Amino acid sequence: MSGRQVKSMRCVQGSKGLEGKFFFIILWVLAAFFEAFGPAAAACSGRIINPVTDVCWSCLMPIKVAGASLSASGVSDPDTDAPALCVCQKGPVPQAGLNMSFWEPVRTVEVVREPYCFPSLGGLDMNPDNAMPRAAAHGRSASRGKSAAVDSNEAIDSSSAFYQAHWYHTPWLFVLEVLLDTTCLENAPYDLAYMTELDPIWNDALAAFILAPESALFANPVAVGACMLDCTAASLMNPRPELFWCSGCQGSLYPLSGWVAAMTSPLQAWHLIAARMTVKLAREGLLWAAYGKAGQCGPYFEPIPRKDVWRGQLVHPSVTASGTCCRPLGAPTAVWGAGKTFPVNGEDGAILLWRKRDCCASKNFF
């Protein structure tokens, strides 16, 4: 690994507070330098995600305090049964407060064809000398995807595809101090937190059974047909949490691997991979829920994430930062996704994930 790549990785590692914000600024400057002066013929390309202009800030809505809306309505706002009045143990004395709910941008899923390619970091290639561990690459046909299929011990057909994914901590509300710098926000720095290239089960659908053994129950026509109902509900911005094995119009959530059995478009595949990463990291204890009565005093472990408390926003290769720019997981991409992808530099994507947040805001909050 070259010296400039090591510097980039160090910059990703930030810390809380002002130090974390300072490291993010340094990362942004270095990545912009690599984007501007890197090799023109590099296979990996991308652009820096600008948290000011590329984030659809209307996705915060609605913001509610004790059930009363303080803002315009959002595209969807599921009832999380969080009581208006709440009590949390903060120190030796319990503190009473009012429930505050909003939507918080917390994670970004980057979906790429080539391993170790990071479009969100300006097209940074972390493996120019092939020194990193071997990882499967993208394939869409039996001929082109032969090597990837061998790695995963499964054959693929003309409609299947494989992608690697990168998981970023992107708590933009805390980093930019957009809303309020309080304990209601996820106090974490910008960070590259997970790479599927280093995950031995990501390219093996059989090994992914370890994380989701219940997937065997839904490998039948009845369960697959039920996903049509979830697609209809997601089209109306109201995906059904009880159909947790479905990812709306994107297809089946299982297996929790990089293989997409029926790819219809890159956008469909990217959103399906984003939904799978949400479940996968929740199973591994790396992603916690923060909604409802249980989330008023802090995040908690939820092995099967409730999908209607998550929204997705496309931030690469095209940016959807105006209009209806956030949609529930599983919402169809056929209409709004026209023209959002393009050859060569527009075949890798990044989805910003928004999480529904319920928080007990005490007197110290206000």
35: how many CB neighbours lie within 10 A of its CB? 17
Q: What CA–CA distance (Å, rounded) separates 51 from 11? A: 17
Cα first-last separation, the chain: 48
Cis bond before residue 317 (omega within 30° of 0): yes
pLDDT of res. 147: 42
- Consecutive sets of 10 residues in the chain, 366 residues long: mean pLDDT of each? 42 45 53 47 80 92 89 82 90 88 95 95 91 81 40 51 95 80 80 94 91 92 93 94 95 93 91 97 95 94 94 95 89 91 91 95 66
pLDDT attached to residue 6:
36
Q: How far is CA 197 from CA 14, 156, 204, in A?
A: 22, 20, 12
The C-alpha atoms of residue 243 and residue 173 are separated, in whole angstroms, by: 31
Rounded distance between C-alpha atoms, residue 270 and residue 116, angstroms: 17
Q: What is the pLDDT of residue 77?
A: 87
What's the pLDDT at 154? 44
Report the C-alpha gap between 353 and 135 in whole angstroms. 25
Pull the structure tokens for residue 307: 């999908």
What global pTM score does this model have? 0.83
Return the pLDDT at 285.
Answer: 93
Q: What is the pLDDT of residue 344?
A: 86
Give the pLDDT score at 38: 45
- Distance from C-alpha of 345 to C-alpha of 365, rounded to nearest angstrom: 44
Per-residue model confidence (pLDDT) at position 180: 58
- Cα atoms found within 13 Å of the Cα of residue 355, Cβ hemisphere only: 27
